[in-house]
Structure 1
Amino acid sequence: MTDKVNISTVEEGVADMGKALSSRLKGLRSEAGFTLDALSKRAGVSKGMLVEIEKGTANPSIGTLCKIAAAFGISVADIVSAAPASPVRVVSESDIPILWNGAGGGTARLLAGTSGPDMIELWRWIMKPGEAYESQAHPSGTMELFHVEKGELSLTIGAAAFVVPKGHSAIARTDVAHHYANAGKGELVFTMSVAELHRSR
């Protein structure tokens, strides 16, 4: 059976995320007293991209969201409202954001995350054959933990390449450029935790 992507559902999800990011970024910028120029310089993100996000017309990459979050001293989960505002917060399935869409229909969903700047995130990735995601280096000391539920994860950390089969787990320091890929013929599904703990450095 071939998996089919519901394009209209994906487009609706992207539009909803765009509106949420627009409102959130405007609020954060107002609270911090940053102009667009100041935030652009602080985050290393073009002013044009920030304008498009605030207009709700941009679909920023995970890397862009990481830079914006770092500029405010918060986590990506804070920006997309996946962080708890009370001792316990249950995130409903409909509120779990999709922050990456692969060309073949794959997705990366931020299941939950703590508030920043010290943060822990839980992700679930689905990659179709041939899909890959490139990531820039995270802050010094950042660790990622992986568990492959289905398929085989091709993981490159810096210049070193690894293969993580179904049922296996891996731990990687990701303060260097890295990428995840599905080089197999079937679907790849894996969960990933990211730990960025400034106080421990």
Structure 2
Amino acid sequence: MDYLSNNVAVNLKRTRQARGMSLDQVSEQTGVSKSMLAQIERGTANPSLGVLGKITSGLRIEFQELIQPPRVDCCLVTPEDLVPTKEQTGQYKVWTCLPYEDTRLVEVYRIEVEPGATYISGSHGEKTREYLVVTDGVLTIECHGQKYDIHKDQVFKFETDQGHIYRNMGTEKACCTCFFLDYHGK
């Protein structure tokens, strides 16, 4: 099943079930046969634009709602199973665990800094804030002309409109999870 067919299948089924409608009821409301609707929901049909138009019109939804990537209610991410977004061997690794999405203003990273190493990050732009939780070791964060030692299980917040530095001055790997918030227009 291709990307768009999957999106349509998942979104149609979710919309129908959220409204408590049977396939018969959707068929009656849209003018699309029950068997075609069932095939679309299973991802075995490749509906024409005309059929998709009938569905969106009959259900009174925007066409975009039918073809957009389906909402993900739950998502488990194991950073070590991902390919690092940034990496310098023996220095640091950065994983993008949850990237920014169109309607979401938060991005989640995992950063590991080896003993004695430094990771330098540029500005994330105006009206961006980072919430950082150290999960292992101690990280020294340099931002806004100050240095802060963040220990395991401590949480640190700072504006990321300027470059900032993550340093591991210790003897063990330092790890943190970072949450970036974009609050433009807020």
Q: TM-score w.r.t. structure 2 length?
A: 0.56
The structure with more radius of gyration: 2
CA separation in 2, counterparts of 1:117 and 1:157?
29
Which residue of 2 is the match for residue 165 of structure 1? 151
Q: Mark the CA change 1:147 to 1:171 in structure 2 (over 3 Å): closer, same or farther.
A: same
Give the 4+ runs in structure 1 shifted more than 4 A: 91-95
Structure 1 residue 126 corresponds to structure 2 residue 112: yes
CA separation in 2, counterparts of 1:134 and 1:105?
11
Q: Residue 190 of structure 1: CA displacement?
A: 0.8
Which residue of 2 is the match for residue 90 of structure 1? 75
Structure 1 residue 143 corresponds to structure 2 residue 129: yes
SS of aligned partner of 2:140: strand
Q: Residue 105 of structure 1: CA displacement?
A: 5.5
Question: How many percent of aligned residue pairs carry the same amino acid?
Answer: 21
Deviation larger for 167-176 or 133-142? 133-142
Counterpart contact for 1:97–1:111, Cα < 8 Å: no
Describe how 1:33-182 pairs up with structure 2 within 5 A: 85-88=69-72, 90=75, 93=78, 96-104=82-90, 106-116=92-102, 119-182=105-168
Count of residue correspondences: 117
Q: TM-score w.r.t. structure 1 length?
A: 0.52
CA RMSD of aligned residues (A): 2.4
| Letter of the structure 2 residue corresponding to residue 196 of structure 1 | D
SS of aligned partner of 2:158: strand
CA separation in 2, counterparts of 1:138 and 1:117?
18
Q: Structure 2: state its 5+ residue gaps.
A: 1-67
